[in-house]
A and B are shown apart, each in its own frame.
Chain A
Amino acid sequence: MENAPHILVESLSVSVGSTPIVSDISFALPRGQVLALIGESGSGKSTTALALMGWCRHGGRIASGTIRVGGMAIDRKSEDELAALRGRYISYIAQSAAAAFNPSRRIMAQVIEPALIHRIMTRQQAEAKAVDLFRALALPDAETIGDRYPHQVSGGQLQRLMAAMALITDPELVILDEPTTALDVTTQVEVLKCFKTALASVDHGRGATAIYVSHDLAVVAQMADRIAVLHKGRLVEEGPAEQILRAPQDAYTQSLVNAPRPVPAAPSAADAAPVLSVQGLTAGYGKVTDGQPAIPVLRDISFDLPAGGTLGIIGESGSGKSTLARVIAGLLPAAQGQVLLDGAPLPPTLEARSLDQFRAVQLVFQNADTALNPAHSVRRILARPLRHYHGLRGAAADRRVAELLDLTRLPADVIDRPVTKLSGGQKQRVNLARALAAEPRILLCDEVTSALDTVVGAAILSLIEDLRRDLGLATVFISHDIHAVASLCEKVLVLYGGTPVELASREAFNGPEHHPYTRLLLDSLPTMDPSWLGATPAPIHRGEKQAGLCPFLPRCDVAIAGICDHQPAPPKTGDGMRWLCHRGPIKHDKESA
């Protein structure tokens, strides 16, 4: 029994109606090992993983093939029998804990539910065990966190709470579906560490068998014993992690392993007068009292952007990256400071801006799914700004639309398709094309790649880069993808909690010296090296941040006692960079890739 594979999948096909989603998938996994399913979205990796629970989304069904988990023939079981397995022997950790937790029920109730459904413990036992798991998962105040509602805890914590929910029944098999994709790199480190230990501890230390679904090879490298690569619903390669990472056989796998890096951008005329300059910008939500909003989001931001220049803005979620874009675009009036377009101040509110000012500044939204009106066709979406800004109609408009499609490398035949029928990449291109339709001076790109697969994302980035070069657009790049920013942008602005902690030229940023927070970000980027996770220290949390002091203080591991916790961090300038810290720039251990 032990040496027999714990999981055995043979020529599995799942299809919705007659169209196959995945076909002819086969793999085996010994007990206690972790198999990673790698692939782009739509490659069928989640479908395959869920099939192991006998679950198919959107009215799909297991068309053919066999699935064995332990002794159990999943493909033969009835709905009731499957229900008896799910959450008991096989449990699931979903991608977005925020969405997968029921917003209106307390966390504890949801965490222990599997144990209660399958009647394997009493409520008290279950709750006790849950609290133990909370501790094991390094969750703060483990005793009380269960009394909260999902919206009252952070994303990283929720993800770990979901792990507790999955492990409460000591399952034989845990399925992790992109469990850290939605998290910041820093949080990802903690969560990965927790998962690793937790999984290992299951089944009296023998460790649970696990399926880890992800698109990020680096992450997978840390977790998996074996890797299966899926592409367009087919299994292209499967084998030990080492082998797949070191010597991938299949061409597609190779393309994944040495993922395309955006080419370093050509420098723009650096001395050109700033087309956009932001001066002492403070903004936030709620009532503004003498320049301070009730809920401040951004504090004292300043930077210049020359025509055709690029500025990258990085930081964790909640650092105010997107808010900055919204302020520049006029969606959120600034409380203090001003935004200058060609040296002339931009009115803070939309109402006060002129058509030309609107046209000059174009915002490309993060999520193309919500940024494009689902009721419209591509043509209508692109024609709208053409008519609005340039009064183009009929044939003229159509011609321009065609040009835009061509410019953004979209096939001409999408023109009359409803956007809901486009792929993620295509949507993002339309999203981009809409901004370009205005023929803007400044392009604000807000996390334009975050919703996309690496390959597609890279393509979009290089597209933007080309456009920048060809059209001389000044671009502001908001992204959590530090690599991309580092290579694309001439200047990089690092935000922490709305405060600009570092503003560096590309050279300086790619150099070794950084603000401690920047350094933390860089260190948190996983690498292909399987030992990376073990080597990286878990981020620290020390109390709450206090007004007036360095906002990063609670998480800073190089803080100087007696100084950092007494005076506000002073702004300093060095060659090619400006930062906010008592210390000089900190060298960070690894070279930034």
Chain B
Amino acid sequence: MMDFSRRSLLAGMGAGLMPATAWGAALPKRGGSIRVATQSSSTADTLDPAKGALSTDYVRHFMLYSGLTRIGHDMIAHPALAERIESADRATWHITLRKGVHFHQGGELTSADVVFSLLRHKDPKLGSKMASIAAQFTQVRADGRYGVVIALSGPNADLPAMLAQSHFLILRKGTAKPDGNGTGPFKLAEFKPGIRTVAVRNPDYWVSGKPYLDRIELIAIPDEVSRINALLAGDVQLINAVAPQSTKRVESSPAHVIATTPSALYSNLISRMDRLPSGNPDFIAAMKHLVDRPLIKRALFRGFATIGNDQPIPPFHPYYNPHIPQTTLDLDRARWHINRSGLRGVRLPIYAGPAVEGAVDMASVLQEYGARVGLDLAITRVPADGYWSTHWMRHPLSFGSTNPRPTADLVFSLFYKSDAAWNETGWKNPRFDQLLMAARGEVDENRRRAMYHEMQAIVHDQCGSIIPVFISLIDGLDRRLKGMNPHPMGGLMGYQFAENVWWAA
């Protein structure tokens, strides 16, 4: 993707915003009010995009605020508040803002607001989830009322995509404690952390004709069964995180339907490469051949998953490398590797817990096959509470979970780069790092794709991150709710359903 000329922008509009699939067949209709239930909510619920941590937060933020760009169904970034965003060297970017966009509480959107909204992430006190990315901003300055210039520490072709994340949504200049005053499709009516968020239609939203709904009440029902029941009972019209086992129930109801989103979300077994024995290449190879991916897809996810190949880029991604041979369950090879590694009969604890979806079951599958090739895997179950701070990446063998990221570069640089904060496996691969850097600055799209293909190959062959499947996201909704158009960035249309759906009743 070259710089955003008008043409590409229009194209972007097309690919990004036009409802494409069957869902949108009917014509949008204005009015109506719905209640939406996500799976997680707490007193930590926030109106600050920078602090967004849970699906509920993302949904809330996308209702209230708008970003400079947004990721389309094509997984490509398209301009939003930014009318144009250009760069010659991928290091210095020039943003031209859309004119006549107003905040809910009045005042037109200007470069000052954008500068403020981007720079605040660099303040460690704020506790921004994007601090590490914001660190790349060497300079963010206003260039006239509608112009913003961002200088990066190094070239990064993916800046537009990164800016599309909910954390970079734009606030009013000088907002110390965000209160929902944004330029988004909905205005905040009520906000009670851990209880509910109520938003009403923003009549002068900058996308003409949108949104369609008058009112959205956003709550969370942590208990999956209750969430389904609420949907079936008609108390809510849209829910996310439907468990694969529950899809039967929803489908059996004439008034409801599920929406499945193949996504890049994956739970992976992390084999620390900087420790022994988990660092032993033969051991890793053996483990990769012990994974019965079809079984996991069938038994754990009732088929709502895409077989993975031990590298983080899913098949439906533009940069997916289809030429890597699929690793399959092969006990003989596994046994051969185990014998070479000399780990026969050695007791190896795997740390797994409910914090990572399917981790415990995956572990027990591994355990079962491992036993057959003389590998003694001991499952240590740890509680969800405190998992990330105490267990994740802390043991030779543990499980991790990675949410969809807007670009291949983000996934790689967050989880696979040698010096990344969460380089889960702790591996160090110079070739990989070098490719990653080069890709960021690479101008030629084909060369860039090639680089990403090679990176995937390297991870597949050498990294201790074992990715059995990519987990599909399942939403459940009332049939009368139209315009739901699954989005690879996450459930609930990548958390951006609010402005796109309408109530046909």
Q: CB atoms of A and B under 8 A apart anywhere in the complex?
A: no
